[in-house]
Amino acid sequence: MAMKRKDGRSLTDIRKMEAKVGVIPNADGSAMFKMGDTIAIAAVYGPKHLHPQHMQNPQTGILRCSYDLMSFSVNDRKKPGPSRRSQELSKVTQWALEPAIDLQDFPSTVVDVTIQIIQADAGTRTAGINAASLALAHAGIPMKNLVCSIAIGKLDKDIVVDLDKSEEDFEGGEGPTDFPLAKLANTDQYTLVQLDGKIQPDKVKEVLKLADDACAKIYEIQKNALKEIVEQ
């Protein structure tokens, strides 16, 4: 009999997902992406002239990402403002999204992507990347494809898809392993591969297969959200 997780999911099930585009009227593009109890909101502003001038690239526009948790998004109230972790995840998000966009027609400009996690229950960076990808598409930024992101984890010896907070805090056996990934939809091109914890090298192929399957489902949610805004 297949093992069930605490919330009733199988090892390969993603939490329930929702996506909506156009959630912030004064942004050039915006989106919400929800995975379980984790909710990310992304807003895009630009392309706009980049100041100061010494940061400009006369060959292309640049992408700038800002990720943060709202202070009320976690049980232990977080100090307002960006932390060292949020600065790191801002950079990680930028790296995950950059291969998908083409800003060569917008030299010396910047596209700002702001991601706020309004409710956190693990997988915040992946939900943020999924929301930001949708928001960039909504803003009309030239893109090769959408970016889909998921975290694969390990609970003791079991490889699982999309950890929730209780699984992320798991302390049995070898402890938790979190493997966040992002990829260009419908391609073999990964734009982010991180590892927090340990995993046997012979398990990596299984991890990538599970990520491929999960990202295909995320892509369908993203596409449907964009279709809905077009049809309105």
Please report, in tens digits, the pLDDT of each residue of the chain (232 residues total): 456 788 889 999 999 999 999 999 999 999 999 999 999 999 999 999 888 887 888 889 999 999 998 866 665 555 666 678 889 999 999 999 999 999 999 999 999 999 999 999 989 999 999 999 999 999 999 999 999 999 998 877 789 999 888 887 765 555 568 889 999 998 999 999 998 877 888 888 999 999 999 999 999 999 999 998 877 6
The pTM of the full predicted model, rounded to 2 decimals, is: 0.92
Are the beta carbons of 11 and 128 closer than 8 angstroms?
no
Residue 146's nearest CA partner among 136, 161, 156 is: 136
Question: Residues 209, 212, 215, 220: what is their CA dihedral angle, to the nearest 10 degrees?
Answer: -120
Q: What are the backbone dihedrals phi and psi of residue 99, each rounded to the nearest 5 degrees, phi first?
A: -65, -15
> d(Cα 89, Cα 128) in Å, to the nearest integer?
10
Strand order of the sheet with strand 17-21?
17-21, 29-35, 38-49, 109-119, 62-69
- Please, what is the Cα angle at 109 between 188 and 129, to 5 degrees? 35
Half-sphere exposure of 55 (CA within 13 A, CB side): 10
Annotation: CATH topology of 17-231: Ribosomal Protein S5; domain 2 (3.30.230)
